[in-house]
Amino acid sequence: MAFQFYMPDIGEGVVEGEIVSWKVKVGDKIKLDQPIVEIMTDKATVEIPSPRAGTVIKLNFKEGEICPVGQVLIAIEEDGVGEPAAPKKVHAPAPVAAPRAAAMGTGVHASPALPGGAAPPNGGAGVIEVVDASHDRLRILATPATRRLARQLGVEIGRVPATGKHGRVTTDDVKNYKQQPPTRAATSYAPQSIAKGGDEERIPLRGIRKKIAESMSRSVHTAVHFTYVEEIDMTELVTVRHRAKSRAAERGVKLNYLPFIVKAVVSGLKKWPMLNASLDEATQEIVRKRYYHIGIAAQGPHGLAVSVVRDADKRSIFDLSKEIERLGEAVRGGTATRDELTGSTFTISSLGKLGGVLATPIINFPEVAIVGVHKIEEKPAVRNHQIVIRHLMNLSISVDHRLADGWDGAMFLQDVKALLEDPTTMFMEMV
């Protein structure tokens, strides 16, 4: 009898996973611990190794299909085994997090919990624990079939009133909710089919790109976005960075402008704490965070991702430079861990020299705001009634109007502007 490998219990609250890609096919000879499949859950993407050496005789799910926990993933004819192998559930190793989507696209939030039930870092006294609203739906009681129906109908299952036993969401609950008139706070829609035209290519929407689509849709349909833009005169900071580059190089640091922007943003967040917060939708509580984990957008192998610089308020400019560079390399190399890609309290999105003139970044839900950094260019400006050449840059901020007003977003960006335009005051602000 072939060995039946069941879909493992990858993490708390995970009841199913999407088959992103098979690493093997029927007839392949495989070794013990050889990667056999990549599976994406709402929390992370994991590469599952083979629990046996042998020959693949059956793959029970196709790429793009959903496999519930406890269902048989793959059948393997073991090498050198004469007696039937009893079915056995094998637990997967600790997952490696999938990169979160970054805005000028938004982020896909994973659970802040760590493998093995470990507490998140920096969770000591004086720190307000974040309740991630995107994680609430993982605690909803519902069968895989009900969850699948909700996805097909475009319904956020965490918003569906439950009528089943012990608070379980039923398929009828999902259907009834779908028939309700849509609202701004809970928008649902039916999948739309696109008729075939001329010469075209159809690519399955799955894996990271699917999570990006889901997360961006949720952010746009939940957070009430508004955007404010300010022009920043970076001339003085350009001079400071130029002077500091040689000293940074002596310490092995590649100094760019992002660490200075991070410092200015953290200072602004301390003055405007509502922008360093989240809304716990389940309890209807505003969660203000007294720690500053700044998300930094970077291009990874699966698309844009947000790596997290933890405790940015406690780091020097050089330390921030090293950490941002280290995280960027990890994202680009596909080696970033779940802890390095989760838990941000505020996000900065930048395309560097390709940053353009203006964008409306989408909030990295469930955060309250996101800053878009645009390119620095030499442009004419009026100073003391004279036209001079200055290094100018635009900053744009998108804010969730449910939690913060236009005044908050504008004053925050004005404080950031003041620090960037006069780096001396920035260093005075550092604590």
Q: Which residues are catalytic?
A: 401, 405
CA atoms within 13 A on the CB side of 371: 30
- In the block, tokens 């580059």 appear at 245
Query: Which pair of structure tokens corresponds to residue 157?
Result: 């299952």
Helix H or strand E segment including 310: none
CA dihedral 380, 381, 383, 387 (to 10 degrees): 40
Q: Considering only CA atoms, which of 169, 126, 125 is closest in space to residue 150?
A: 169
- In the block, tokens 């083979």 appear at 50
DSSP state of 217: H
Q: Considering only CA atoms, which of 376, 389, 235, 215 is closest in space to residue 304?
A: 215
23-50 burial code (b ≥16 CB/10 A, e <16):
ebeeeeebeeeeebbbbbbbbbbbbbbb
How many whole angstroms separate alpha carbon 218 and alpha carbon 236?
40
Q: What is the DSSP string of 100-127?
A: PP-TTS---PPPS--GGGPPPTT--TT-
Three-state DSSP class for residue 225 = strand
How many whole angstroms separate alpha carbon 232 and alpha carbon 229?
10
How many whole angstroms separate alpha carbon 240 and alpha carbon 260?
10
Q: What is the DSSP string of 5-28?
A: EEPP--STT--EEEEEEES--TT-
Query: Which pair of structure tokens corresponds to residue 235?
Result: 């001339």
